[in-house]
């Protein structure tokens, strides 16, 4: 019988063996964790199997932005070249998607590095014309490390109608988008006016409808900002359907208290 390798033994595989094993493990991860998490873990898995050095943090962040943009584009939340994403790469600068490119077709090297005054630090493509809005968020919210601006069809319909998403209907939305999703008064895209109109809401909110424009979601990291974006659009779709059926039923005060308690309680096995 073939003995098991020692715990710290180096696993040596030929390239084709490593590729085959990585493929099988990825399929298993997709079954256990879902396809998105499997795709996220795949590069690290391949490096571990082939003995390649760890991916540098800056390269990993660029790859994650490109993957997030592709996912949002595939979901139909960023039509054409519309929408933009950014991450705070360091206290002194950010990475932002470039102007004029379809988000599903970007490469990591296409991302543009800007300092917190809006000066371009990397050669190549121009930054998204909405970079002022991103800088405005980071300047007010030190806890925010990612900003996602999209044009989700149903959420944008509420923005165009001037209707905020401010009623407690879905538990997930209450927890992720609280206290509510306001409609920010119209400011021309890419303008300082848009930044000025957004500023009063930034301290206490993490998701916004931009009147006659689209949506913005913030996060402590990119995954949270993307999750809020998806939840925002899902909430808008559900509300629209519920109102066509006669109106939504609201969660009660007792329901909301229970949700907040569940959110703040430690897991049972940690008590």
Q: Give the other-Cβ count within 10 Å of 227's Cβ.
A: 16
Q: Give the other-Cβ count within 10 Å of 117's Cβ.
A: 9
Q: How many degrees, rounded to 5, is the angle at CA 244 between CA 243 and CA 246?
A: 60
Q: Give the other-Cβ count within 10 Å of 265's Cβ.
A: 10
Which tokens is 76 given? 């139909």
DSSP state of 181: B
Measured distance CA(21)–CA(221) in Å, rounded: 31
Strand order in the sheet with 207-210: 112-115, 93-96, 84-90, 146-150, 214-219, 207-210, 183-184
End-to-end Cα, the chain, rounded Å: 44
Contacts with 107 (C-beta within 8 Å, 6 or more apart), sequence order:
66
State the catalytic residues.
130
Instruction: Tell me what percent of the chain is helix, strand and coil, each rounded to the nearest 5.
Output: 50, 15, 35
Measured distance CA(166)–CA(221) in Å, rounded: 24
3 state DSSP class of 111: coil
């Amino acid at each position: 019988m073939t003995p098991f390798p020692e715990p710290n033994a180096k696993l040596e595989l030929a390239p084709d063996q490593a590729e085959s094993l990585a493929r099988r493990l990825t399929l298993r991860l997709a079954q256990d964790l879902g396809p998105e998490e499997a795709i996220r873990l795949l590069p690290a898995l391949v490096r571990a199997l082939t003995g390649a050095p760890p991916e540098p943090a800056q390269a990993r962040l660029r790859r994650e932005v490109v993957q997030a943009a592709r996912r949002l584009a595939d979901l139909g939340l960023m039509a054409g070249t519309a929408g933009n994403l950014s991450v705070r790469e360091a206290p002194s600068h950010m990475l932002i998607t470039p102007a004029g490119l379809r988000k599903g077709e970007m490469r990591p090297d296409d991302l543009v590095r800007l300092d917190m005054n809006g000066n371009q630090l990397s050669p190549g493509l121009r930054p998204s014309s909405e970079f002022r809005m991103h800088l405005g968020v980071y300047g007010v919210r030190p806890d925010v490390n990612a900003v996602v601006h999209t044009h989700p069809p149903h959420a944008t319909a509420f923005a165009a109608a001037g209707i905020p998403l401010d009623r407690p209907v879905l538990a997930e939305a209450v927890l992720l988008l609280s206290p509510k999703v306001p409609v920010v008064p119209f400011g021309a895209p890419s303008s300082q006016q848009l930044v000025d109109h957004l500023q009063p809401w930034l301290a206490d909110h993490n998701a916004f409808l931009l009147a006659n424009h689209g949506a913005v979601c913030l996060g402590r990291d990119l995954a949270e900002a993307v999750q809020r974006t998806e939840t925002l659009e899902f909430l808008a779709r559900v509300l629209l359907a519920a109102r066509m059926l006669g109106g939504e039923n609201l969660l009660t005060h007792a329901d909301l208290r229970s949700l907040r308690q569940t959110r703040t309680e430690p897991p049972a096995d940690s008590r």
